[in-house]
Chains A and B, each alone.
Chain A
Amino acid sequence: MIELRGVSKSFGDFAVLRGVDLVIPKGKSMVIIGGSGTGKSVTLKSVLGLIKPDSGTILVNGEDVEQAHRDTFLSHFGMLFQGGALFDSMTVWENVAFRLLRGSLKRPRGEAREIAIDKLRRVGLRAKVADQYPGELSGGMQKRVGLARAIAAEPQIIFFDEPTTGLDPIMSGVINDLIREIVVEMGATAMTITHDMTSVRAIADKVAMLHDGVIQWTGPVGDMDAADDPYLRQFITGSAEGPIEAVR
C-alpha cells in the first residue's frame, strides 16, 4: 500500500503540491490524472525518493520513504518512464536485465539474458530484438522494452509515467492492454500518471484527479463518469469552459 499524507513541494516561489493526501491499496491500479504542470510527475518522483517533499509523509507498505534503506526500498519498484529512458549505450537485453546484472539481484549473464528475452516475449517482442540497441527501435517498441525492464525483477509496485505519450492510438491501446494484463497477472500495486482518458479507462481500478496541488477528486473508475465534480467533468470532457483555466 502507498499512502501520501499532506505532501507539499515548492520550487522557488511556485508551490506544485499543496498537501496531497492519497491512498493506493495493495494490488490496485491507481491512475492520477490532471493537466500539464499540475504536479503529477512530482508526486510520482516524491514516492520514489527522486524528489524530497518539503513537508508531509509518504509511506510504502507502512514504511516511511525517508527512513527506508534505499536499495531494499527501490528493489520493490519498477518504473516505465515517459520517454523510455533506455540506456542507449547498452543492447536491449542488457537494458531489460540491468538489475539482474549488478547489485543484490545479480545473477550469471546467461541466466539474466534468458530472463530478459522471456520478459521481452511477455511484452510482445521477438528474441531477435534482444541484441539491438534502443536507437534502432520505434517509439512503441521502446515503450515495450521499458515495460519489460520495469517488470524484469518482478517488482511489487510499478509506476507508469505517461505510458502512451507519443504513440499512435492503436499502439496506445496495445500498451494499455499490456499494462493492465501485467499488473493483474503480477498482482502488483500500480500507479500511473497520464492525461490520456483512454488509458485511464483501460488501466485504472481507481482514479485521482490532481489540480492546483491537491487531490481534487478520487474514486473508483466506474464512478468517474457519473461524478459531479466540475473539475473532473471538465477534464473528462476536454471542455475549454469550466473552473480549470484554459490558456488560449
Chain B
Amino acid sequence: MDVTAPVASIGRSTLRTIAALGRLSIFTGQTLRHILLPPYYPREFWHAVIAIGWLSLPVVGMTAVFTGAALALQIYAGSNRFGAESVVPQIVAIGMTRELGPVLGGLMVAARVASSIAAEIGTMKVTEQIDALVTLSTNPMKYLTAPRVLAATLTVPVLVGVGDVIGIMGGYLVGTSRLGFNEAAYLKNTFDFLQFWDVGSGLVKGAAFGFLIALMGCYFGMHSGRGAQGVGAAVKSAVVAASVLILASNYLLTEAFFGS
C-alpha cells in the first residue's frame, strides 16, 4: 500500500479548491468589468429585474410576514419572564431590519433565483446556446452574467426593504390582535426606536446578497457539466454556495457595521 496516498489525496483536494477559488475570482473580476464597460444590454437587464425582483416579491413577502409574526410571539414570551413585554415592537423592528429581513429574504431569493439562473444558463450551455451567442458576436459574460448580477444587486435591497415593512406589519398584527398592544402605541414605539442605519445596514446586506446570489447562479451555470445530471449538479451547487456565502458574508458585514 502506498503510504503517501492520503497525503496525495489531501494535496489534490487542496489544489482543486485553490483552482476553483481562482476561477471564481477571475469570473467575479470579469463580471464587474462587463457591468462597467459597454456595450450594455438594457433589455436583458430589465428582463432580469422583473424575473429577480418583481417575481420574488410574493415569496419574500410571505417569508417576512410569518417571520415578523413569529418573532413578535417569541419576543413576547421571552420578555414576559422579566416583565419587559413592552419591548416587542422595538425588538421586532430591529430584528427584522438588521438581521432577519435581509438574511431570510436573501436565502429565499437564493433558493428561487440562484437555482433558476443556474438551470437556465446551464441548459443554454449543454444545448450549445452559449456557443451560438459567441458565433453571433455576443460575449456570454456581458449578455447573460452582467445584466443578471447588476439586476440582483439593485433589486434585492428593494425586496429587503419591502420585506422589512411586511415583517414589521406581521409583528404588528400579532401584537395588536393576540398580545393586546394598542395599535397606535405599537407603531409609535416602532418608528421612534428605529434609526436610519438599522434599515440602511439591512439594505446594504441585501445588495451584497443579491450580488452573491446572481454571481453563484451564473458561475455554476456557465461551468455546468453535460446533460441533465450536469445541470442538476450546477443548480444544487449554486443554491448551496449562495446560501453559505449569504450566511458567511452576513456575519462579516454585521461585524463591520456593528462590531465594536
List A residues at the B interface (Cβ < 8 Å).
Answer: 45, 48-50, 70-71, 74-75, 77-79, 81-83, 85-88, 98-99, 102-104, 149, 159
Contacts and interface: CB of A to CB of B under 8 A. Distances in A.
B183 interface: no
B151 to A, nearest CB: 15
B137 A71 contact: yes
Contacts of B131: 45, 50, 81, 85
B129 A87 contact: yes
Contact of B127 (A49, A83, A103, A149): A83
Nearest first, the 6 closest Cβ-Cβ pairs linking A and B are A85-B132, A85-B128, A74-B137, A79-B135, A81-B128, A71-B137
A98 B136 contact: yes
Contact of B134 (A74, A83, A87, A149): A74
A104 B137 contact: yes
Given A102-B39, A102-B41, A87 B132 contact: yes
Judged by DSSP, the binding face of A is: mixed
B138 interface: yes
Nearest to A103: B137
Interface in B117-152: 124, 127-129, 131-132, 134-138
Given A83-B127, A102-B41, 12 more contacts: A49-B134, A70-B137, A74-B135, A75-B137, A79-B135, A81-B131, A85-B132, A86-B129, A87-B129, A99-B137, A102-B138, A104-B137
B128 A77 contact: no
Contact of A83 (B39, B128, B135, B136): B128
A129 B47 CA distance: 24
A104 B39 CA distance: 10
Contacts of B39: 102-103
Contacts, number: 48
A48 B129 CA distance: 15
A81 B132 contact: yes
Interface in B21-60: 39, 41
A79 B138 contact: no
Chain B interface category by residue count: 10 to 19
Interface of B: 39, 41, 124, 127-129, 131-132, 134-138
6 contacts: A71-B137, A85-B128, A86-B129, A87-B129, A99-B137, A149-B136
A79 B135 CA distance: 7
Q: Which of B41, B129, B132 has the most CB of A within 10 A?
A: B132
A187 B98 CA distance: 65
A142 to B, nearest CB: 11
B127 A85 contact: yes
B136 A99 contact: yes
Contacts of B134: 48-50, 74
Nearest to B120: A89
A49 to B, nearest CB: 8
Contacts of B128: 81-83, 85
Contacts of A82: 128
A79 B132 contact: yes
A17 B128 CA distance: 21
B77 to A, nearest CB: 49
Contacts of B136: 74, 98-99, 149
Contacts of B129: 85-88
A163 B195 CA distance: 64
A196 to B, nearest CB: 19
Nearest to B131: A50
Contacts of A79: 132, 135
B135 A77 contact: yes
A119 to B, nearest CB: 14
Nearest to A73: B137
Nearest to B123: A88
A99 B41 CA distance: 13
A104 B124 CA distance: 24
A120 B131 CA distance: 22
